[in-house]
Amino acid sequence: MLRPLLLRSMTRGGCCLAVVLVASLALAQTEFSAEIVNTEKSDAVSQAKIYLAKDKMRIEPTANSAPSAKSAGMGRGMGAVIIDLTAHTSTVLMDQQHMYMELPAAAAASGQRNLYNFFRTGDVENACADWLQQAKNQGGSCHKVGSETVNGRSTVKFEATNASGETGDFWIDPKLRFPVKWQGKNSSGELRNIQEGTQPANLFEVPAGYTKMDMGNMMQMQRPQ
């Protein structure tokens, strides 16, 4: 239950960065914060806020994304998702309950472990090599289109087709080494109001007073009697 919930919350709930990029944590990357905007909607409102540090990422829905979060199966009071890009773990905060859930790397299926590798690329000029390593993209195609400016920032644009024949485009900011725009069958969006700079460490920590949810007990309670 938790793995589908996390996946939906990071896609439909305003966090639909639908580009598949392999992590390369040995290389430096600029820390930043930004708003994730779903451009499929006519009003193009901010759906989430993203904060990226050297080895951690935090995504939290904004007030505007509440209806999307509800339809995606996010429980009432669901807050931020904190992702450790080195340990391949994620923590889901439940603000109203003052609780949190942890999903360790060992609990994720091999295909879903790639979820933690979506957000950094080693070689911006050759991002296709990273993209094609992902299971659902093997057998597909990808090529670099060229340089484009997105919201005042220099980017490299790529076009790709996955193994199912679904096509899409993504734009990577060479300085951030991060996708700042994406268009595809299931999601289209971009990052706006990008603010470069060191992110506070407490953004990537469980708040004081939060209790860890016992996932073993919860799953046992959900089994048919």
When the pLDDT of each residue in the chain is averaged and rounded to a whole number, the result is 74
Domain that holds residue 140: 2-195
Mean pLDDT of 184-196: 90
- Domain count of the chain? 1
Neighbours of 153 (CB within 10 A): 16
Q: Is residue 107 part of a domain?
A: yes
Residue 95: inside a domain, yes or no?
A: yes
Quickly state the pLDDT bin for 93 (edges 50, 70, 90): very high
- The CATH number assigned to the domain holding 60 equals 2.50.20
200: in domain: no
Across 166-204, b (16+ Cβ under 10 Å) vs e yields eebbbbbbeebbbbbbbbbeebbbbbbebeeeebeeebb
Q: What is the pLDDT of residues 143-169, one digit of tens each?
A: 999 999 999 999 999 998 888 888 889
Q: Is residue 208 domain-resident?
A: no
Q: What's the pLDDT tens digit per position in 101-135?
A: 988 765 544 444 444 444 555 678 877 877 777 66
Residue 44 lies inside a defined structural domain of this protein: yes
pLDDT of residue 60: 92
**Which residue type, as a one-letter code, is found at position 215?**
M
- Is there a domain that residue 68 lies in? yes
Confirm whether 212 is domain-assigned.
no
